[in-house]
C-alpha cells in the first residue's frame, strides 16, 4: 500500500510540475496537490498501509514487520514503470530475488526471527536514549563529510528513527486497545511517536537532499530492520539466537538483504521515477537535487512512517540547503 501511495502521488506531482508554467515552491506544489484526485487516492492508500502496519506490529514481531517493509522498494520500482515506457531491468530482478531470499531465510529458519514478547519499558527508555546519542553523532559526523558519506550517515540516522517509531506504534496501539483513549493520552509512547516520526521525516529529507540517492536509500533501508531486530531482542524479551545454524541464518539474511537493497537502490528506475523525461545515468549528469527528487518519489520504500506528502517530489529539500 505504501508503494501504491508513492506511485500515485509521484505521478500527481510530476504532472503538476509539467503543467505549471513556472517552477513551483514547496507550498505551491502542496497547494496544487491537495486538489488532485490521484494524490488524494495516494493518501487513502497510505492510510490503509499505516493501519495494516499497526495491525501487523500489534500481532507480530517488530523485527519481522520492519524487515518485510523493505520489499516496498521493490514494489515502488515495479509500480514506477507502469505507463512510463520503462521496464523492470535485470538488475531490478536480481535485487528483488536477493531481498526475497533474505526474507525467506529469516522466516523459514526456526529461531532466526525473534518472536513477539512483552515490552520492557525500562530497557526501551535506555535504548531510546542510546539511539538519540547515536543519531546525534551520525548527524554531527555527516556535517563534516562529502555528499556520499553525508547522505549515508543521515539515511542511517533516519532509519534508526523509523525503527524507534515502529516500536512506539506498537506500544501506542496496545495502549489504545487495552487501556483506552484516556490512558493513552497521558502515557508517553504516543508523544514519543510524534517526535520520532517527525525527526525521521526531517532527517530523511536531508539525506535525500545531501547527496546521491542510492547512498541514502541503502543506509535507510538497512538500518531500519537491523535496529528493529535489536529492539525485539533487547527490549521485548525475545529469544536471543544462539545455535550456529540460527546465527548463520541471521547472517545470511543480512547479507542477502544488504545486497538486494544496494542493487535496488542503484536501479535507474529509482533515479528516474520522479523525473520523467530526464536522461538516465549514462546519458547526462544528475545532481543532488535530481537524487533528492527521485528519493522523495520512492520515499515509501524507506519506511511506513514517512508522511506521504513528502514522497512525490523533494520540493521541501530546498528548505534545508
With beta carbons less than 8 A apart as the criterion, state whether 77 and 269 touch. Answer: yes
Q: List the domain range (segments joined by +) for residue 174.
A: 2-320
pTM above 0.75, yes or no: no
Measure the CA–CA gap between 253 and 106, rounded to whole angstroms.
6
CA-based angle 226:162:16, to the nearest 5?
Answer: 125
With beta carbons less than 8 A apart as the criterion, state whether 254 and 102 touch. Answer: yes
Cell 523459514 appears where? 108
Measure the CA–CA gap between 204 and 275, rounded to whole angstroms.
19
Give residue 25's pLDDT. 59
Number of separate domains in the chain: 1
Cα 139 from chain centre? 18
Does an H or E element contain 96, and which? helix 90-108
Measure the CA–CA gap between 39 and 313, rounded to whole angstroms.
12
In eight-state DSSP terms, residue 314 is G
Cell 533516519 appears where? 158
* Tens place of pLDDT per residue across the chain (321 aa): 766 776 676 667 667 767 766 565 556 666 777 777 877 887 788 788 888 888 888 787 888 888 888 877 777 777 767 766 777 788 888 888 888 888 888 888 887 777 777 788 888 899 899 999 999 999 999 888 888 888 889 889 989 998 999 999 988 988 888 888 888 888 888 899 999 988 987 887 778 777 776 777 788 888 888 888 888 888 887 777 778 888 898 888 889 888 888 887 777 766 554 444 443 333 334 444 444 444 444 454 444 444 333 443 343 343 334
Give the largest Cα separation in the chain, rounded: 63
Which of 95, 68, 25 shows the shortest CA–CA distance to 265?
95
Cell of 4: 501504491
- The rounded radius of gyration (Å) of the Cα atoms in the chain is 19
With beta carbons less than 8 A apart as the criterion, state whether 76 and 6 touch. Answer: yes
Which of 177, 231, 160, 159 shows the shortest CA–CA distance to 59?
177
Give residue 314's pLDDT. 41
SS percent in the chain: helix, strand, coil, step 5: 75, 0, 25
With beta carbons less than 8 A apart as the criterion, state whether 219 and 156 touch. Answer: yes
Give residue 320's pLDDT. 37
With beta carbons less than 8 A apart as the criterion, state whether 297 and 274 touch. Answer: yes
Measure the CA–CA gap between 240 and 13, rounded to whole angstroms.
45
Is 285 exposed, middle or buried (CB count within 10 Å of its CB: 0-12, 13-18, 19+)?
exposed
**Residue 290's CB: how many other CB atoms inside 10 A?**
19
Amino acid at each position: 500500500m505504501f508503494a501504491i501511495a508513492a506511485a500515485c502521488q509521484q505521478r500527481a506531482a510530476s504532472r503538476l510540475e509539467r503543467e505549471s508554467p513556472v517552477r513551483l515552491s514547496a507550498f505551491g506544489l502542496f497547494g496544487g496537490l491537495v486538489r488532485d484526485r490521484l494524490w488524494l487516492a495516494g493518501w487513502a492508500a497510505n492510510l490503509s498501509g499505516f493501519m495494516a502496519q499497526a495491525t501487523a506490529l500489534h500481532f507480530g514481531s517488530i523485527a519481522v514487520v520492519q524487515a518485510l517493509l523493505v520489499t516496498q522498494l521493490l514494489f515502488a520500482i515495479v509500480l514506477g514503470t507502469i505507463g512510463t515506457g520503462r521496464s523492470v531491468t535485470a538488475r531490478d530482478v536480481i535485487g528483488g530475488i536477493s531481498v526475497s531470499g533474505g526474507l525467506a531465510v529469516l522466516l523459514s529458519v526456526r529461531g532466526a526471527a525473534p518472536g513477539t514478547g512483552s515490552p520492557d519499558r525500562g530497557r526501551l527508555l535506555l535504548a531510546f536514549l542510546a539511539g538519540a546519542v547515536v543519531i546525534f553523532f551520525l548527524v554531527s559526523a555527516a556535517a563534516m563529510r562529502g555528499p556520499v558519506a553525508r547522505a549515508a550517515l543521515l539515511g542511517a540516522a533516519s532509519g534508526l528513527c523509523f525503527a524507534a517509531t515502529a516500536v512506539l506504534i506498537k506500544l501506542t496501539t496496545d495502549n489504545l486497545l487495552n487501556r483506552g483513549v484516556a490512558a493513552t493520552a497521558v502515557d508517553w509512547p504516543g508523544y514519543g511517536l510524534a517526535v520520532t516520526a517527525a525527526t525521521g521525516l526531517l532527517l530523511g529529507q536531508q539525506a535525500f537532499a545531501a547527496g546521491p540517492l542510492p547512498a541514502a536509500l541503502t543506509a535507510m533501508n538497512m538500518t531500519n530492520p537491523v535496529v528493529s531486530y535489536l529492539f525485539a531482542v533487547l527490549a521485548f524479551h525475545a529469544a536471543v539466537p544462539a545455535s550456529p545454524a540460527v546465527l548463520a541464518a541471521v547472517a545470511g539474511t543480512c547479507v542477502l538483504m544488504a545486497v538486494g537493497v544496494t542493487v535496488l537502490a542503484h536501479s535507474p528506475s529509482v533515479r528516474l521515477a520522479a523525473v520523467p523525461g530526464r536522461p538516465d545515468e549514462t546519458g547526462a549528469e544528475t545532481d543532488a537535487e535530481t537524487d533528492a527528487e527521485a528519493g522523495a518519489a520512492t520515499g515509501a520504500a524507506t519506511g511506513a512512517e514517512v508522511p506521504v506528502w513528502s514522497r512525490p517530489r523533494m520540493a521541501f529539500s530546498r528548505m534545508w540547503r
